[in-house]
Amino acid sequence: MMDSAKKKPTTIDEYLANVKPDHRKTLQKLRQTIQTAVPSAEECISYGIPAFRLNRHVLVFFGAWANHCALYPGSSATLKNLRDELANFETSKGTIRFSPDKPLPVALVKKLVKTRIAENNDRANKKSRKS
């Protein structure tokens, strides 16, 4: 049975309100960096965590866990393309893990987001050529 007291967040602010203070501060800075990189992106909650959407396609997700924060670029290709720049962070197929005391650099976040925009645009262009 679902615990009604544990309501799922519907906004990024609601999500962040339930995160440990050090994680919240780190994720708020990450959020601001993404907003600065893509002012036209729309905030949303997707799969229960904060995300940014552009042209109806998710660019990136992020979240807080017990012992780390994470950025999910939504693309293993993005992680492969930026592998060298991500060498100091723990990564897996679709995840970049970091801690509040060692957050992702602003320039790297912007590069990740711009790479995702380019991937989404390429995918949209390929689809429109097929139509």
pLDDT tens digit string along 74-108?
A: 888 889 889 999 999 999 988 999 999 999 999 99
CATH 3.90.1150.200 for domain 12-130:
yes
- % of the chain exceeding 70 in pLDDT: 92
Give CA torsion, residues 20, 22, 72, 90, to 10 deg.
Answer: -120
Q: What is the pLDDT of residue 4?
A: 43
Choose among 123, 120, 101: nearest CA to 112.
120
Q: Enumerate the domain spans of the chain.
A: 12-130
More confident call, 8 vs 4: 8
- Kindly give the pairing relationship between strand 49-54 and strand 90-92: unpaired
Q: Average per-residue pLDDT in the chain?
A: 90
Band the pLDDT of 17: cuts 50, 70, 90: very high
What is the rounded distance in angstroms from the CA atom of residue 128 to the CA atom of residue 131?
Answer: 5
